[in-house]
A and B are shown apart, each in its own frame.
Chain A
Amino acid sequence: MFRFILRRLLQMVLAFFGTTLIVYALMFAGQGDPIQALAGERPVTAAQRAYLTEKYHLDATGVGGFFYRYVTYLGGLVRGDLGQSLTGRQISDILAAAWPVTVKLALIALAVTVLFGVTAGVLAAIRRAGVFDHATLVLTLLVLGIPTIVLAPLAQYFLGVRWPIFPPTAGAEPSFWALLLPGIVLGSLSLATALRLTRTSVTENLRADYVRTARAKGLVRRRIVGVHVLRNSLIPVVTFLGVELGNLMSGAIITEGVFNIPGVGFNLFRGIRTEDGPLVVGIVSVLVVVYLLSNLAVDVLYAVLDPRIRYE
């Protein structure tokens, strides 16, 4: 187990540098005129242009320029310096402010997914072809069919403005309560997927030999479903949730925008819009680490769920 984790950690270092290189190269290749992009439609003075060009080495172009800037960036990264965004703020400060709220939001979304998705999935499987099963099928199809860009403003309008149950926006230091609605909206998509996955998996396992054996031995149904079936059914769900955690953090661009949460998704969007290369690479690097870690956690969880799985 220890050697497995160590090997994975070493692979992560490689994957980390690989992704930063690719993202940096993409930002570099797609870069038009970041100074003008920052100024919008206003004219940029020669002095301002010269100042920013020198500060961010924007005159280093071509392949040589790319490696010069990438190596400079990496040098800073190794020393723990993520650099400055084009507006002069330390990227580490931006990240420090953005991460906590995004993590909170993602965890709420994940909790919603697990709480409602897995429970409803199990219920639907037990009462297969019943009213509850059909109802959830229609509901999940509906949720899967509505994109967040529609769902989020609708939820905000109906649950925030029309019937003020939740505050319409969350802001920078939101209470748990203010984050609940965006969390539900964000989690709804993965909730639907988790529900369908759980249902299929549980249905399949309910017909398995070991369930029949257990029943023949006279085990109570609660124990059969709650312990034996659920544990065996959770492997695909956990795989899905592990990947989803990363998605929830990076993919909250729309939800964070609608509910005014200054998290990672928004900063990523702003970085891309203003062609702020260092900011985008900084955020993506951290996101890569989150993906890698959550995948590692999932792999380790497999062994917990199914003792037959060994790592060597």
Chain B
Amino acid sequence: MRVRRLAAWTALPLAVTLGLAACGSGGSGGGSSDPDAAVRIEIAEPQHLVPTNTNETSGSQVLSALFSPLVDYDEANKPHEVAAESVTSSDHKVWTIKLKPGYTFHNGEKVTADNYLDAWNYGAYAPNGQNSSYFFEKIAGYADLQGEKPKAQTLSGLKKVDDLTFTVTLTEPYVDFKTMLGYTAFYPLPKAAFSAPGVLAEGYEQAPIGQGPFKMKGNWQHDAKVEVEKYDAFPGQKPKVNGVEFRIYQQLTAAYADVLSDNLDVIKTIPTENLSTAATDLGDRFQQSPASSLQVLAFPTFQKEFSKPEVRKAISMAIDRDEITKSIFKDSQQPARSFVSPVVAGYRENTIGTAGSFDPAKAKAMYEAAGGPKKIELSYNGDGGHKDWIDATCNQLKANLGVECVGNAEPKFADLLTKLKQKQSVGLFRMGWVMDYPSMENYLGPLYSTNGSSNYYGYSNPQFDKLLAEGARAATEDEAIKKYQAAEDLLAQDMPVIPLRYGQNNFGHSTTVKNVHVDLFDRVDLLKIERA
């Protein structure tokens, strides 16, 4: 009897829990069948929501809802005008940008040329510490805005012509400038964004005012969500959904679980651990589209043992790219045999030629003839999930070249870069590149030109630098591409890096949305998505 009483006390909480469970299961459908409900898209916590300070995908996804770009890219990744009426230049040095009339900011302000000039000047001014300020470095007067106490407040290359027209003068002619304008950094800012000329109003970032198809609904709720709703006065192409809730996730696996149970509509990146089951879990709601990223193994060419191109080519030949992308990446990436990604105009297949074809026998003979090192180290950052493919690559090199090979994990990519800058011996190291704008130049200039911002391998070829400069000054885009391709051929001869894989967007969506497209910048196309 007494024991039974105690048992009752134990049973009570259990019963309450189960009872609650029964109630809960009824309510937790998500309620997403409502056609007017906002679509829910997964992002990570953005670092910033000011256009010139946003250079990661989560922030630019949110800004793509709030702003409308001057140009956007078509199926062939060529730029076409959106908020701009026309972007023209006769010499590729002085560009005239005409704006479409009728655009207003979400607070009612008319969009004028001044809004662009204010935003760009703010972005380029060094003391503002904007992440994307380097996008303006091609504009005349950029140098005067650098340093601790810059000489000027505004770019001398920006001139207003009338309310809807302004000109941009570059320091050097640059044929791809129009292509650049599609990037997040080139959005305008309303007068309301500034508390004084050149001073961003405090709190603007918490609820950015743009001129795009959606406006903010409330403030940016850090670590939780950013909500936007349709902006009715938007003159451009109207979105098909009433609003978007960008829901912030810390782990992709959590977002994946939510998509499976229709609690979330779009996950932009399927987590690696779920890739093998995604096709069965989601069926045709698991989709892939090309992305701009390129993964390479780079050589510290300043080190003697890797200074011969034959050694570098032999290592490339000893790696079976197809096998690794298939067995390790489950086809979530594609094998790469060129230095630029297939997503840009001017891409050619297999520019590295024989160095890209897997041939262990030939590789070994070539490696031994060139006197390659007996021991190879592959360095990578341990926080990015690279161990598996590095180990697989190492095993291939061991088997095919008869060398010793070890993977060396640095805690973070920053640690790897610090070692490289001090020219410490790290062996081969992995690098990834994501483009800023779809142009061949963006894959070549920063990575391989002598003063390139991400040239960590000490590669320097005057002929290459010259070809790139000629390409930028070329009269037409097609001529520029020819020069860039010639430059790429030089890389194929020298092999400062081994191209390994092109990235892909591997995304999934719930049963309640359709027409989901993820673009080259890892952003969901908000004008196309609709409720199913």
Contacts and interface: CB of A to CB of B under 8 A. Distances in A.
A and B co-occur in one complex: yes
Interface of A: 32-33, 36-43, 45-48, 50-52, 55, 87-89, 93-94, 97-98, 115-116, 119-120, 122-123, 126-127, 153, 156-157, 160-161, 164-169, 171-173, 177, 180, 220-222, 225, 256-260, 262, 266-267, 270, 273
B249 A164 contact: no
A261 B6 CA distance: 36
Given A45-B134, A168-B260, A37 B248 contact: no
A97 B20 CA distance: 27
B250 A257 contact: yes
B47 A87 contact: yes
Interface in B10-38: 10, 13, 17, 20-21, 24-25, 27-28
Nearest to A274: B412
B283 to A, nearest CB: 15
A166 B28 contact: yes
B134 A40 contact: no
Contacts of B363: none
Contacts of A166: 21, 24, 28
Contacts of B13: 115-116, 119
Interface of B: 2-3, 5-7, 9-10, 13, 17, 20-21, 24-25, 27-28, 47-48, 55-56, 126-131, 133-134, 146, 148, 221-225, 247-251, 253-255, 257-258, 260-261, 263, 383, 411-415, 417-418, 431-432, 434, 446, 453-454
B148 to A, nearest CB: 7
Nearest to B221: A172
A171 B247 CA distance: 9
A168 B417 contact: no
Contacts of A98: 223
A119 B10 contact: yes
Contacts of B250: 256-257, 260, 262, 266, 270
Contacts of A270: 250
Nearest to B28: A167
A87 B28 CA distance: 35
Contacts of A221: 2
A251 to B, nearest CB: 16
B453 A43 contact: yes
A87 B48 contact: yes
18 contacts: A32-B414, A36-B413, A43-B446, A45-B131, A45-B453, A48-B133, A50-B148, A156-B257, A168-B254, A168-B263, A222-B2, A257-B250, A260-B258, A262-B222, A262-B223, A262-B250, A270-B250, A273-B383
Which of B5, B255, B260 has the largest count of A CB atoms less than 10 A from its CB? Answer: B260
A97 B219 CA distance: 14
Given A47-B129, A167-B263, A262-B248, 4 more contacts: A42-B55, A168-B254, A169-B255, A258-B254
A160 B6 contact: no
A33 B254 contact: no
Contact of A33 (B55, B131, B414): B414
Contacts of A127: 3
A84 to B, nearest CB: 13
A214 to B, nearest CB: 14
Contacts of A262: 222-224, 248, 250
A148 B415 CA distance: 30
Nearest to B24: A177
B382 to A, nearest CB: 12
Contacts of A38: 47
Contacts of A41: 413, 431-432
A120 B434 CA distance: 56
Given A45-B134, A177-B24, A161 B260 contact: yes
Ranked 9 nearest A-B pairs via Cβ: A51-B129, A172-B224, A262-B223, A36-B414, A47-B126, A168-B257, A260-B254, A43-B453, A33-B414
Contacts of A120: 10
A165 B263 CA distance: 13
Contacts of B27: 177
A160 B257 contact: yes
A126 B56 CA distance: 60
B6 A123 contact: yes
B500 to A, nearest CB: 15
A195 to B, nearest CB: 12
A259 B432 CA distance: 30
B25 A164 contact: yes
Contact of B129 (A36, A52, A260): A52
B413 A47 contact: no
A161 B257 contact: yes
A108 to B, nearest CB: 11
A208 B25 CA distance: 47
Given A45-B133, A260-B255, A37 B223 contact: no
A164 to B, nearest CB: 6
A267 B222 CA distance: 11
A266 B223 CA distance: 10
Contact of B7 (A45, A94, A123, A258): A123
Contacts of B48: 87-88
A82 B250 CA distance: 24
Nearest to A47: B126
A37 B413 CA distance: 7
B129 A123 contact: no
